[in-house]
């Protein structure tokens, strides 16, 4: 699988942890509205991407990207402008 142009293929970090709110509600990582960015690992970068490399851990806007399922594995394709932090 190879990204083209300014696209980045990522694998998101599992967010199965359960958090308890101040009001006592139990929320999974997917239900948390206070978190705007998600963590992921970069699998491949397009030729026009700068500042991000394969293997980097990144944070990106959780509302961006498109889901891609290949051989029962789920990946996401995002634009390089959606990356906010490279670790």
Identify the helix (H) or strand (E) that includes residue 74.
strand 73-79
Mean pLDDT of 6-11: 97
Fold of 7-78: 10 Kd Chaperonin, Protein Cpn10; Chain O (2.30.33)
Buried-exposed string 14-29: b where 16+ CB fall within 10 A, e elsewhere: ebeeeeeeeeeeeeee
In the chain, domain spans: 7-78
Tokens representing 46 are 């397009």
* Single pTM value for the model: 0.79
- Residues 30-77 have pLDDT tens digits of 555 667 899 999 999 999 999 999 999 999 998 999 999 999 999 999
Residue 60 near residue 78, CB atoms below 8 Å: yes
pLDDT at 36: 86
């Amino acid at each position: 699988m190879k990204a083209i142009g300014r696209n980045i293929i990522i694998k998101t970090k599992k967010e199965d942890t359960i958090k308890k709110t101040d009001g006592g509600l139990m929320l999974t990582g997917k239900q948390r509205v206070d978190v705007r960015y998600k963590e992921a690992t970069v699998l491949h970068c397009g030729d026009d991407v700068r500042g991000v490399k394969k293997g980097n851990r990144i944070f990106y806007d959780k509302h961006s990207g498109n889901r891609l399922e290949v051989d029962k594995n789920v990946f996401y394709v995002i634009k390089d402008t959606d990356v906010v932090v490279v670790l």
